[in-house]
């Protein structure tokens, strides 16, 4: 039985992403040759096949593109948080990049709707990992 929050495996090509998340910064990988943004991070550009890349900070502002409220929770570790929202968010400055994460709301969970505006925040899981999540703007 999984009793702790699952953490991602960190690979060499996404290490910078996770290091920046632990500093409360969202960064997006860009191709070093054609400048195409890509998420999730990967070794090679899907457009020009270059292995050169750099990282650019994103605002973390997003729009809720899709969501689900898992009932019952997917893992026992999430029982205390239930009900909770898992969303697919589209970054405002990158219309082709969508990221999955938990959505926090200060109001009724049933008030969440597609198109809601969101702002990023980070939850420290351990000394190496902070997970991005989004907060619904009022």
What's the pLDDT at 5? 81
Asked if 126 and 78 sit in the same domain, the reply is yes
pLDDT of amino acid 2? 54
> If pLDDT is split at 50, 70 and 90, which confidence band does 134 have?
very high
Alpha carbon distance 103, 116 (integer Å): 11
Co-location of 50 and 118 in the same domain: no
In a domain, 45, yes or no: yes
Domain residues for 135?
Answer: 59-138
CATH code assigned at 86: 2.40.50
pTM: 0.89
Output the six-digit token pair for 121.
């925040």
Of 53-62, 77-86, 111-120, the one with minimum mean pLDDT is 77-86
Which residues, including other chains, have CB under 8 Å from residue 58's CB and lie 6 or more apart? Answer: 26, 27, 28, 91, 93, 94
């Amino acid at each position: 039985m999984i009793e702790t929050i699952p953490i991602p495996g960190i690979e060499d090509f996404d290490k910078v992403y996770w290091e920046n998340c632990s500093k409360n910064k969202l960064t997006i990988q860009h191709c070093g040759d054609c400048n195409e943004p890509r998420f999730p991070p990967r070794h090679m550009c899907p457009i020009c096949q270059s292995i050169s890349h750099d990282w650019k900070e994103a605002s973390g502002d997003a729009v809720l593109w899709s969501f689900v409220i898992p009932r019952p929770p997917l893992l026992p570790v999430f029982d205390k948080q239930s009900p909770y929202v898992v969303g697919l968010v589209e970054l405002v400055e990158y219309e082709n990049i969508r990221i999955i994460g938990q959505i926090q709301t200060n109001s009724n969970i049933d008030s969440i709707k597609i198109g809601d505006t969101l702002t990023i925040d980070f939850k420290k899981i351990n000394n190496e990992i902070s997970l991005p999540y989004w907060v619904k703007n009022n």
